[in-house]
Amino acid sequence: MTQEVLTVAVCERPDWGSPEAAGTLAQRLGLTLVPDEYQISDYCRFIIFFQQGRLSLQQTAARAPGAICVDFDDSALTYRRNHPVQPEALLKASGVKQGGMCRVLDATAGLGQDAFIFASAGCQVILMERSLVLHALLADGLRRAAESENDRVAESSGRMTLIHGDSASLSIKDIDERPEVVYLDPMFPDRRKSAKVKKNMFLLQQLLETDIPSADLLGNALHIASRRVVVKRPRHADFLEGRRPSHQLVGKASRFDVYLPITPSSI
């Protein structure tokens, strides 16, 4: 009898380092607990596990890249925050100034990298993520960021609120205050070889390859934002949902399409 290969399972690794037991984590995420064996790829395509107290995700295939986790203390993210492309295109497209105290809904949170740039600039950020596994990685990253010895990381994490769910069905009534900016960076099928796509994004693409894009993600965002909706796209990709933006910021590999909301703020 052949057994079904799961997408993600929890695996208890020797350097677990978290007070949460593997069985409890599996139960919390509704996942199966699999043994830490050589042939783990027979059971599942990905494993999620604590590694030195960090919730981590790894592909099980031979020669797969190493594990990833959400790490707001990461040196690359610190570099991006301290040495932004002049000025950081994401903030420019969103109309956010450093210390601007804008409310942002990052409706496709992923690994929270872009959300952290908004929070570091002083924005209050709601991160919405529909994948339970990525939501768990984000929650773990935020927990560690709150305890960071780096004051800027700890302070920025205090401006980030995480929610689980599909932002295409989010309504203004579900959130306390209407965000000025809604940011969308939906997954885009990328056929380039893994070396060209950053390790994190490559892993996310593999994990979420069977996810069906929400039909009205942008359409709904246009009802939620009070100032603008910003969509990140690969440079030569079609417009999201076929909607033409009011203007664009085009970079080398990607671009930001900027839309004006359907019901703008009365302020």
Ligand X SMILES: C[S@@+](CC[C@H](N)C(=O)[O-])C[C@H]1O[C@@H](n2cnc3c(N)ncnc32)[C@H](O)[C@@H]1O
Total number of residues binding ligand X (CB under 6 A)?
Answer: 22
Nearest Cα to 239, choosing from 180, 184, 202? 184
With contacts defined by CB under 6 A, name the span among 34-42, 146-154, 181-189, 191-199 that binds ligand X. Answer: 181-189
Q: What is the DSSP string of 31-70?
A: --EE---TTGGGTEEEEEEEETTEEEEEE-STT----B--
| Rounded Cα distance, 84 and 93, in Å | 14
Nearest Cα to 183, choosing from 83, 87, 114, 261? 114
Pair 106, 125: CB distance under 8 Å: yes
Q: Does residue number 140 form part of the binding site for ligand X (CB under 6 A)?
A: no
Q: Does residue number 179 form part of the binding site for ligand X (CB under 6 A)?
A: no
Q: Does residue number 168 form part of the binding site for ligand X (CB under 6 A)?
A: yes
Q: Does residue number 204 form part of the binding site for ligand X (CB under 6 A)?
A: yes
With contacts defined by CB under 6 A, name the span among 33-41, 97-105, 127-135, 147-155 that binds ligand X. Answer: 127-135
| Rounded Cα distance, 250 and 228, in Å | 17
> What would you report as the CA-atom Rg of the chain, rounded to the nearest whole angstrom?
19
With contacts defined by CB under 6 A, name the span among 89-97, 185-193, 246-254, 259-267 that binds ligand X. Answer: 185-193
Q: Does residue number 186 form part of the binding site for ligand X (CB under 6 A)?
A: yes
Q: Which of 59, 108, 124, 156 binds ligand X (CB under 6 A)?
A: 108
Residue nearest ligand X (C-beta atom): 110
Q: Which of 11, 123, 134, 181 binds ligand X (CB under 6 A)?
A: 134
Q: Cβ of residue 152: shortest distance to ligand X, in angstroms? A: 18
Q: Does residue number 131 form part of the binding site for ligand X (CB under 6 A)?
A: yes
Q: Does residue number 175 form part of the binding site for ligand X (CB under 6 A)?
A: no
Q: What angle do CA 217, 69, 24 make, to 5 degrees?
A: 95
Q: Does residue number 93 form part of the binding site for ligand X (CB under 6 A)?
A: no
Amino acid of residue 97: K
Residues of span 225-254 touching ligand X by CB under 6 A = none
Q: Does residue number 220 form part of the binding site for ligand X (CB under 6 A)?
A: no
65, with CB counted inside 10 A (0-12, 13-18, 19+), is middle
Binding site for ligand X (CB under 6 A): 107-108, 110-114, 128-131, 134, 166-168, 185-187, 204, 208, 214, 217
